[in-house]
Amino acid sequence: MAAVKANFFCDINKHMWMYMRIFTPESVISPRNVLDRILFDKKGGALFVFDVDDTILNTSAKIIIKKVTGQTNALTSAEYGKYTIEEGDQIDLSQFSDSYKFVKESKPISKMLSLLKSVQRKVQDKMFEDGSRLILLTARNDFDSKHMVLEFVHSLGIDIDLVHIERAGRRGVGSTGKNKHQVLSEYLERNNFASVVAFDDSVSNLEAIASLSASPKEPYVQTFHVDEGGYLTLHREEGRRERSCTWATQFCSEIQGDTIKPRLNQLGSSMRL
């Protein structure tokens, strides 16, 4: 009986130790500390990229899908990314061009907005030295009132003379990830960026951005996944030797709790330290 108890507590201690490792700052990163993980001294400067919806702002716009049966579904951008379009579906994206709705209903994600402002200050100091830039890269197409949106963005403390808002939806080359990849490819062609640092709530978008490391200029790419509440995980580092985070997947295979597994599987499959 004593041996059974000893083994039980040994297993508990092992699992708790591994659990603590997963949720140390190496995996879940406070936006306050994320600048420590970013390299600012790369020759050629850095391109910093922030998504908008559910990354720096909680927004309310929905995609409306009208089905042939007459049923109507309202999906968030994240839900729409997983939706399979069926024959006869009518897709209404009008809420995403509604400037009034964007301005009146968007709520800042304080942690990420604070991080963006910190990056903004860094870029202001370095842009004339090494060409570093900061952009907002939204999946949206054009708004119906550019002036209203710019005033709102400026009211958040974002320097609209320094920070350009790129609308990936204007590219129309495919998925949101492909559109964002296209926008950033154009930036890399026109500028001598040595690195790209991107923040997005969509893993598929981050995967597309991470693939920029294989582009002709071979930039060093860091991608950060933004979770609910503005917490970050380091999603990928490309362009230099990586250390895969294998202990998270090992932990997943040992823990039986279904409510824990999805989160840990996400960390184990996508995170690079």
145-169 pLDDT tens trace = 999 999 999 999 999 999 999 999 9
Note whether 142 and 73 are same-domain residues.
no
Residue with the bigger pLDDT between 105 and 126: it is 105
Angle in degrees, CA 142, 145, 147, rounded to 5? 110
Note whether 157 and 108 are same-domain residues.
yes
Domain assignment present for residue 18? The answer is: no
Domain assignment present for residue 11? The answer is: no
pLDDT digits (tens, 9 = 90+) for 186-225: 999 998 888 899 999 999 999 999 999 988 888 889 899 9
Domain assignment present for residue 251? The answer is: yes
pLDDT computed for residue 127 by the predictor: 73
Domain assignment present for residue 37? The answer is: yes
Domain assignment present for residue 83? The answer is: yes
Residue 134: pLDDT over 80? yes
CA 214, 39, 24, 230 dihedral sign is negative
pLDDT band at 252; cut points 50, 70, 90: very low
Note whether 180 and 270 are same-domain residues.
no
Note whether 70 and 187 are same-domain residues.
no
- The pLDDT mean for the chain works out to 76
Domain assignment present for residue 4? The answer is: no
Note whether 72 and 156 are same-domain residues.
no
Note whether 103 and 232 are same-domain residues.
yes
What is the number of structural domains in the chain? Answer: 3
Domain boundary residue, one of 97, 122, 142: 97
Please compute the mean of the pLDDT values over residues 49-72 and round it to a whole number.
Answer: 93
pLDDT band at 242; cut points 50, 70, 90: very low
Structural domain span for residue 82: 62-97
Entry pTM: 0.74
Domain assignment present for residue 112? The answer is: yes
Note whether 37 and 124 are same-domain residues.
yes
Note whether 178 and 84 are same-domain residues.
no
Domain assignment present for residue 2? The answer is: no
Distances (CA, A) of 23 to 61, 115, 227, 267: 32, 20, 13, 10
> CA–CA separation, 38 vs 18, rounded Å?
26
Note whether 253 and 187 are same-domain residues.
no
Distances (CA, A) of 230 to 21, 74, 112, 203: 20, 24, 6, 15
Per the listing, tokens 């209903």 go with 105
